[in-house]
């Protein structure tokens, strides 16, 4: 037993079963619980084991430390793998997407506690859960375009199903949202104040499970939290975002943001245009195309599309330069290819989707 516990520690995942609930805790708090391939494999192993275990009725996913559930994949390691000619950057996405899909299709209720930063790969883990819990500390986002990448881990599915054009906005800007917006967008379905998380754990430890574990868990959450919060900022901005982000391409979106005044939102629009112009033009264009296709695709087909993009992206996309500029050299001066939206052809974007 000790040897097994130590092995689980080595994979940076803490594993415990209490009162028929399997607890999986991402345990790299110093790295905001960013995912490594070992962590992905550990999570998958335990989910597979518990699927067939009649003693486990539900699963709880969470992150160690108060700062975050999971800040994404360990992108620096993937960059280094590509540079060294290794396979990690190809193997990682295949296994990560398989894990995320497995959570979406899991045979038992999964709870994901998105307390603190929940970004990129963290969203991939959480969005397949039945019960997606946020707190006042939650910061959810798909920030990939900022490093010359696209919102993957099922983002083409879950972002494209957010109301109106809000998912397009979140994917193209990489903006982080808080609890009220997460509930409004359907990216979370329960709010629990962080002060009540100890009571949530105590409740899980005492819960009497009946024939429908999901209903039992919902009943517990209903005593501690709520499913909607007032004053979601995106609710107010929705008509404006729906107008701007429904444009035909990213250039048109930026042009409209600068030129068109809707109500008192012009300063927000100008700031958003500035934000978009710092992002990789190629990554934004591919993201827009991917989200628009994803709206009409199954979950499995969305993951297959993202994997198809991944297999080309390290060589032909902007991620290597983005990681260099923002994570390695930290000069924050990425040399995107092309550097501006004006230099981007439709053909360059469409090439990534050929052969799908």
**Is there a catalytic annotation at residue 144?**
yes
Average per-residue pLDDT for the chain: 95
Q: What is the pLDDT of residues 34-66, one digit of tens each?
A: 999 999 999 999 999 999 999 999 999 999 998
- Judged by phi (left if over 0) then psi (alpha if -120 to 50, else beta), residue 45 lies in alpha
Which listed residue (144, 216, 306, 310) is catalytic? 144
Task: Give the mean model confidence (pLDDT) for residues 138-148.
Answer: 97
Longest dimension (CA), the chain: 65
- Please, which contacts does 87-95 make with residues 24 or more away whose CB atoms are closer than 8 Å? 88/37, 89/314, 90/310, 90/311, 91/37, 92/37, 92/40, 93/152, 93/306, 93/307, 93/310, 94/307, 95/37, 95/40, 95/41, 95/44
CA separation for the pair 210, 104 (Å, rounded): 23
**Residue-range domains of the chain with CATH:** 2-141+175-224 (3.90.226.10)
The percentage of the chain sitting over the pLDDT mark of 70, rounded to a whole number, equals 97
Task: Answer yes or no: pTM beyond 0.85.
Answer: yes
Q: Tokens in use for 170?
A: 């979140």
Q: Which of 11, 22, 63, 73 is catalytic?
A: 73
Active site residue 65: no
Instruction: State how far the Cα of 292 lies from the Cα of 281, in Å rounded to an integer.
Output: 17
**From the candidates 121, 124, 148, 171, which is the catalytic residue?**
121
**Mean per-residue pLDDT for 250-263?**
96
Per-residue model confidence (pLDDT) at position 66: 85
Q: Is 300 a catalytic residue?
A: no
| Residue 279 clears pLDDT 90, i.e. is over it | yes
Q: Which of 100, 115, 152, 318 is catalytic?
A: 152
Distance between CA 343 and CA 251 in Å, rounded?
10
Picking from 103, 232, 223, the residue whose alpha carbon sits closest to that of residue 177 is 232
Per residue in 174-190, pLDDT (tens digit) is: 999 999 999 999 999 99
Q: What is the pLDDT of residue 6?
A: 36
Given a cut of 70, is residue 5 above it in pLDDT?
Answer: no
CB atoms within 10 A of CB 251: 17
Tens of pLDDT along 65-114?
A: 989 999 999 889 999 999 999 998 889 999 999 999 999 999 999 999 99
pLDDT over threshold 50, residue 320? yes
Cβ atoms of residues 290 and 317 within 8 Å: no
Please say if the pLDDT value at position 207 is more than 90: yes
pLDDT number for residue 278: 95
**Tokens found for residue 194:** 């962080």
**95 counts as catalytic:** no
């Amino acid at each position: 037993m000790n040897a097994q516990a130590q092995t689980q520690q080595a994979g940076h995942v803490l594993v415990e079963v209490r009162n028929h609930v399997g607890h999986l805790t991402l345990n790299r708090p110093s790295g905001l619980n960013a995912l490594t391939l070992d962590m992905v494999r550990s999570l998958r192993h335990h989910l597979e084991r518990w699927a067939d275990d009649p003693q486990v009725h539900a699963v709880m996913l969470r992150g160690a430390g108060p700062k975050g559930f999971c800040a994404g994949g360990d992108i620096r390691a993937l960059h280094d793998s590509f540079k060294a000619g290794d396979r990690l950057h190809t193997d990682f996405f295949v296994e990560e997407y398989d894990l995320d899909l497995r959570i979406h299709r899991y045979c038992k209720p999964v709870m994901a506690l998105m307390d603190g930063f929940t970004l990129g790969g963290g969203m991939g883990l959480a969005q397949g859960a039945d019960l997606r819990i946020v707190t006042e500390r939650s910061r959810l986002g798909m920030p990939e375009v900022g490093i010359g990448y696209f919102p993957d881990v099922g983002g083409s599915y879950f972002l494209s199903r957010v109301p109106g054009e809000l998912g397009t906005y979140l994917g193209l800007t990489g903006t982080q949202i808080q609890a009220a917006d997460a509930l409004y967008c359907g990216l979370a379905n329960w709010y629990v104040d962080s002060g009540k998380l100890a009571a949530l754990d105590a409740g899980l430890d005492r819960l009497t499970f009946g024939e429908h574990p999901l209903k039992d868990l919902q009943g517990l959450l209903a005593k501690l939290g709520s499913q909607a919060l007032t004053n979601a900022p995106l609710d107010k901005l929705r008509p404006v975002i729906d107008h701007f982000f429904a444009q035909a391409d990213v250039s048109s979106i930026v042009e409209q943001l600068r030129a068109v005044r809707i109500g008192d939102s012009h300063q927000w629009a100008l700031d958003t245009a500035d934000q978009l112009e710092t992002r990789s033009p190629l990554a934004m264009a591919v993201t827009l195309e991917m989200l628009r296709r994803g709206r009409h695709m199954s979950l499995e087909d969305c993951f297959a599309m993202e994997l198809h993009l991944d297999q080309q992206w390290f060589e032909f996309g902007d991620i290597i330069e983005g990681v260099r500029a923002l994570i390695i050299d930290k000069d924050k001066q990425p040399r995107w290819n092309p550097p501006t939206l004006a230099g981007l052809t439709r053909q360059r974007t469409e090439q990534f989707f050929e052969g799908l």
